[in-house]
Structure 1
């Protein structure tokens, strides 16, 4: 049995089942989860049955696809319902998305005005004091006297929200204290309970971060090949950061920290859209599909997507299906090169076009990449494009900020470059910045790898390309689309396959030495702090506390002009190894909150400096073209 065979379980259901276990059974829970994963399971409609042993069956009933109550998990053993099997099944199953009825809190109405006609007044959440009715008398008196009307203080978090944020902080700090190996089902259930409470208190962003941490913890403990430590570092820092800011933020900052339960689609009137390209989408969770990028007359980017379970096979098939937008009969491939006229359009904050009943769309004439309004996308300097893309791909970017991580560049191909992670294509941007182009997906069923290797055999070819920024100390993109080498049309590099006849006169493949990264980040010792931040997540605080003296590393950071990094490294390791004793010499509990605060500061600092170095790497330098040409010359 795998987690994919089980229906998603609501976070509060898992938390309740684990909390109801006796202390003795909680100690056995992680072992029960592992044993249950080796047992066969089969699905019959909305019910999944797991054979616990030859005589006992465990059932998960998921009407609507989600196990929403603890009674929906039943077991046939003698100890049921107080057995460990029900909690183990809930811990082994995927975490369900938040319930749809948990929406954002309504915006407060202006004093003296009613809410929408026919709607009841907002009811405070149980346990929260009702807001006092606003009084209009002081404002009226002030207006009559000629004095300015006093402004109301910015909105602050309620006591219930602060308490929910404190619970999230404590649960996240406990995970950081124990590390991946120690953050078993019990620690995960504490996170799920805190996430559920936070969502009830209208804190969807920190609650979503907590659910992400749980999902990544389960992937790490199960040995999922798609798991990356950097993802868990980011999720933990997001969880601790937003939980901490709830108590201090107010006004607009609080709204950002609080987040939204769902991203609404807002009306955007009529749009005239021009197709750019179509990219294949294949996720580690087994989903596949296509996403077509289009641009409006003002240059704003929009997407039309179709992604669902199915993997790479579905990604290739969806490209030839009609887009889900109005009555348009265009396929994704066709829309990437054609145009669309949309009326009644709805758009999400991140640019996704809605497909509601009121949306109408008809085919229209497209535009070449060299024609307006698309040509304007390539007129922005690469450094400005990189800075914009980095703001949207930042680890801790505002979820409502929107923006795109795509770059539009005119390049000259230089040849193939061998790197420790594989071979990439080196190109020179207009402006003299050498950039590495890599494949977006290595799956052999997609055309990315074959197309990149074929382009590497045509040095000197000039192309107009679209790529996705890869944050690094040197300019790097994943190549998504390019103009056809003959100058006729465009190529979706994941779908269309280039042929050798499409290229200029064939030459032998050119392998050049990659130019050394220049700029302020070329020899930055920031990794001395980054690796300690990353090391804490899988190993926990105790492993970091055994490192001993880190003075040499701190001195190297100071010599490189990073005194803040040196101070953070010293404080982090000192906090990890600090254990106080009472009057009788017994060890007191470790300061979990203090260590979490030091780790959070180090994680956010390293992310900010890495993003700054990435931005600086895209700045053109006088000797970049000379360095790239000199590296290429001996190979020709």
Structure 2
């Protein structure tokens, strides 16, 4: 049995089952999860049955695809319902996130008639009431009545308007944020090995409470931490420690800011339960390209990018469970938008005229019943209005894309992570992760073009190797920014080497006959010069930040003296990094004793604050190095960290939490 065979379980269900266990059974829970994962399971409609042993069966009933109640998990053993099997099954199953998924957009589209599901906030929070005017046709405005004339005496006697205080978090939200901080700090204290099913249940309980208190951003961050912890403990090959670092820092940072944020900042920290769609009237759209979408969660589909005459980018997607096989099939299916008969591939080279359009902040086009779309003429990449996308300097495009792909970007920030470049292919470069292309774009900036997806069923890898055999070829490309100390993109689409059309590199396959010299071998590119981040010792602090996540606080405190690393950081012009690595190690090793010499509990909050400051600092400096690498001309060989707002904020954060 694998987690993919089990239906998602609502966070509150798993938390309740674990909390109801006796202390003795909680100690056995992790072993029970491992044992249950080795047992066979089969699905029959909405019910999944697990054979606990030869005589006992465990059933998970998931109407609608999600186990939404505690009673939906039943066990046939003699100790049921107080047995460990029910909690083990819930802990082994994926955690249901009502705020994500391919169908989560439908309930937010004003033109959609989809009703909120059982996992939505409106269904879970008894205090929430849906707005009855949402999606309704606005009434015709009446002529305003003429205002009465004011006399001089009345005008002079009118009181001055009272300033409105900015909105602050409610006491219930502060309490929920404090719970999120506590469970996040506990995970950081224990590390991956110590964050078993009981710690994950505490995270799920805090996530459920945060969602009921209208803190969906913190709830989603907690669920992401749970998912990554389970992947790490199960040895999932797709797991990366950097992803867990980002998720844990997002959880702690969001929880910390709830208590101090006001006004617009508080709205951003709270987040949105659903992606909001706003009416955008009539749009004339021009197709750019289509890319396959394959996620680690087993979803697959296609996403087509289109552009408006003003350069704004929008997407039309079709993603659902199915993996890479579904992605290949969806590309030739009709786009679900209005009455158009275009497929995703055809839309990438054609155009649309849309009326009654609805668009989300990240550019997704809504497909509500009020949206009408018809096929229109497209435009070549060299024709207006699409040609203007390639006229922006690469450094400006990289800065805009970097704001979109930032690890701690604010939600609903908008923007796109795509870059539009005219490049000259120089050859192939061999890296530790494989082979990528080296190209030169405007201003002499050398860019590495990597494979977007290594799945052999997709055409990315084969197309890139063919392009490596065409040094000197000039192409117009579209790529997705990869934050790195050197300019780097994942290659998504390019102009055909013959200049006749465009190539969707995930779906279309180039042939040898398409190259200027069909018999040319793959050429190696010249040696790359070092960028602005090539000699930066920032990795010393990044390594300590990442080591704390799998090993926990105690292991980081045993690493020994870090004074040599701090001196190296100071010599490189990074005094803030030197101070952070020293404070992080000291906080990890600090253990005080009482009057009788007994060890007191560790200061988990203080260590979490220092770790969070270091994690946010390294992310900010890495993004600065990435932006500097895209600047044309000679690159400096060093990087300094002047007292910017970011470094000052991270330092104050560590001091305020002590």
TM-score normalised by structure 2 residue count: 0.88
How far has the Cα of 1:116 moved from its partner? 7.3
Moved more, 20-29 or 351-360: 351-360
Give me the whole-angstrom Cα distance separating, in 2, the residues matched to 1:313 and 1:211. 28
Give me the whole-angstrom Cα distance separating, in 1, the residues matched to 2:261 and 2:492. 39
Moved more, 503-512 or 386-395: 503-512
Give me the whole-angstrom Cα distance separating, in 2, the residues matched to 1:217 and 1:146. 61
Give me the whole-angstrom Cα distance separating, in 2, the residues matched to 1:242 and 1:103. 22
Counterpart of 1:553?
A: 565
Give me the whole-angstrom Cα distance separating, in 1, the residues matched to 2:460 and 2:574. 39
SS of residue in 2 equivalent to 1:511: coil
Give me the whole-angstrom Cα distance separating, in 2, the residues matched to 1:67 and 1:309. 18
How far has the Cα of 1:307 moved from its partner? 1.1
Counterpart of 1:162?
A: 174
Counterpart of 1:83?
A: 83
How far has the Cα of 1:390 moved from its partner? 0.5
2:441 aligned with 1:429, yes or no? Answer: yes
- Is contact 2:33–2:91 with CA below 8 Å preserved after alignment? yes
Counterpart of 2:54?
A: 54
How far has the Cα of 1:267 moved from its partner? 1.1
How far has the Cα of 1:513 moved from its partner? 3.8
Structure 2 counterparts to residues 38-77 of structure 1, below 5 A? 38-77=38-77
Counterpart of 1:360?
A: 372
How far has the Cα of 1:287 moved from its partner? 1.5
Counterpart of 2:26?
A: 26
- Is contact 1:36–1:52 with CA below 8 Å preserved after alignment? yes
Counterpart of 1:2?
A: 2
The 1:563–1:283 alpha-carbon spacing in structure 2 relative to 1, beyond 3 Å, is same
Counterpart of 2:413?
A: 401
Q: 2:259 aligns with which of 247, 264, 280?
A: 247
Counterpart of 1:273?
A: 285
Counterpart of 2:621?
A: 609
Counterpart of 1:102?
A: 121
Counterpart of 2:141?
A: none
How far has the Cα of 1:117 moved from its partner? 8.1
2:612 aligned with 1:600, yes or no? Answer: yes
Give me the whole-angstrom Cα distance separating, in 2, the residues matched to 1:299 and 1:496. 25
Counterpart of 1:175?
A: 187
2:311 aligned with 1:299, yes or no? Answer: yes
For each residue in 1:524-578, what CA deviation from the matched residue of structure 2 results, as whole angstroms up to 9, or x when unmatched?
0000000000011111001100011100000000000000000000000000000
For each residue in 1:578-620, what CA deviation from the matched residue of structure 2 results, as whole angstroms up to 9, or x when unmatched?
0000000000000000000000000000000000000000000
Give me the whole-angstrom Cα distance separating, in 2, the residues matched to 1:531 and 1:280. 33
SS of residue in 2 equivalent to 1:60: strand
Give me the whole-angstrom Cα distance separating, in 2, the residues matched to 1:585 and 1:42. 56
Counterpart of 2:210?
A: 198
Q: 1:285 aligns with which of 259, 275, 297?
A: 297
2:341 aligned with 1:322, yes or no? Answer: no
- Is contact 1:341–1:363 with CA below 8 Å preserved after alignment? yes
The 1:59–1:621 alpha-carbon spacing in structure 2 relative to 1, beyond 3 Å, is same
Give me the whole-angstrom Cα distance separating, in 2, the residues matched to 1:149 and 1:466. 52
Counterpart of 1:370?
A: 382
2:531 aligned with 1:518, yes or no? Answer: yes
Counterpart of 1:479?
A: 491
How far has the Cα of 1:147 moved from its partner? 4.3
Counterpart of 1:137?
A: none
Give me the whole-angstrom Cα distance separating, in 2, the residues matched to 1:28 and 1:433. 57
The 1:118–1:283 alpha-carbon spacing in structure 2 relative to 1, beyond 3 Å, is closer
Counterpart of 1:129?
A: none
Give me the whole-angstrom Cα distance separating, in 1, the residues matched to 2:341 and 2:191. 52
Moved more, 500-509 or 253-262: 500-509
The 1:398–1:103 alpha-carbon spacing in structure 2 relative to 1, beyond 3 Å, is farther
Counterpart of 2:346?
A: 334
Give me the whole-angstrom Cα distance separating, in 2, the residues matched to 1:34 and 1:312. 29
For each residue in 1:155-191, what CA deviation from the matched residue of structure 2 results, as whole angstroms up to 9, or x when unmatched?
0001110000000000000000000000000000000
5+ residue gaps in structure 1? 109-114, 120-140, 625-636
Counterpart of 1:131?
A: none
Give me the whole-angstrom Cα distance separating, in 1, the residues matched to 2:490 and 2:155. 60
SS of residue in 1 equivalent to 2:464: helix
Q: 1:227 aligns with which of 201, 225, 239?
A: 239
How far has the Cα of 1:516 moved from its partner? 2.3
- Is contact 1:103–1:202 with CA below 8 Å preserved after alignment? no
- Is contact 2:425–2:472 with CA below 8 Å preserved after alignment? yes
How far has the Cα of 1:478 moved from its partner? 0.5
The 1:468–1:586 alpha-carbon spacing in structure 2 relative to 1, beyond 3 Å, is same
2:630 aligned with 1:587, yes or no? Answer: no
Give me the whole-angstrom Cα distance separating, in 2, the residues matched to 1:592 and 1:529. 20
Give me the whole-angstrom Cα distance separating, in 1, the residues matched to 2:80 and 2:517. 74
How far has the Cα of 1:623 moved from its partner? 8.3
TM-score normalised by structure 1 residue count: 0.91
How far has the Cα of 1:512 moved from its partner? 2.8
Give me the whole-angstrom Cα distance separating, in 2, the residues matched to 1:117 and 1:227. 44
Give me the whole-angstrom Cα distance separating, in 2, the residues matched to 1:89 and 1:283. 24
Give me the whole-angstrom Cα distance separating, in 2, the residues matched to 1:484 and 1:142. 74
Give me the whole-angstrom Cα distance separating, in 1, the residues matched to 2:353 and 2:250. 39
2:507 aligned with 1:495, yes or no? Answer: yes
Give me the whole-angstrom Cα distance separating, in 1, the residues matched to 2:260 and 2:300. 41
Give me the whole-angstrom Cα distance separating, in 2, the residues matched to 1:283 and 1:486. 33
Aligned residues: 595
2:460 aligned with 1:448, yes or no? Answer: yes
SS of residue in 2 equivalent to 1:175: helix
Give me the whole-angstrom Cα distance separating, in 1, the residues matched to 2:269 and 2:283. 32
Give me the whole-angstrom Cα distance separating, in 1, the residues matched to 2:577 and 2:224. 28
- Is contact 2:97–2:220 with CA below 8 Å preserved after alignment? no
Give me the whole-angstrom Cα distance separating, in 1, the residues matched to 2:525 and 2:211. 53
- Is contact 2:167–2:263 with CA below 8 Å preserved after alignment? yes
How far has the Cα of 1:101 moved from its partner? 3.9
Give me the whole-angstrom Cα distance separating, in 1, the residues matched to 2:553 and 2:49. 40
CA RMSD of aligned residues (A): 1.9
For each residue in 1:13-60, what CA deviation from the matched residue of structure 2 results, as whole angstroms up to 9, or x when unmatched?
000000000000000000000000000111111111111001111111
- Is contact 2:629–2:635 with CA below 8 Å preserved after alignment? no
- Is contact 1:103–1:262 with CA below 8 Å preserved after alignment? no
Give me the whole-angstrom Cα distance separating, in 2, the residues matched to 1:37 and 1:142. 78
Give me the whole-angstrom Cα distance separating, in 1, the residues matched to 2:209 and 2:484. 38
Give me the whole-angstrom Cα distance separating, in 2, the residues matched to 1:372 and 1:512. 34
Counterpart of 2:469?
A: 457
For each residue in 1:318-362, what CA deviation from the matched residue of structure 2 results, as whole angstroms up to 9, or x when unmatched?
111101101110001100000000111111111111111111110
SS of residue in 2 equivalent to 1:288: strand
- Is contact 2:352–2:373 with CA below 8 Å preserved after alignment? yes
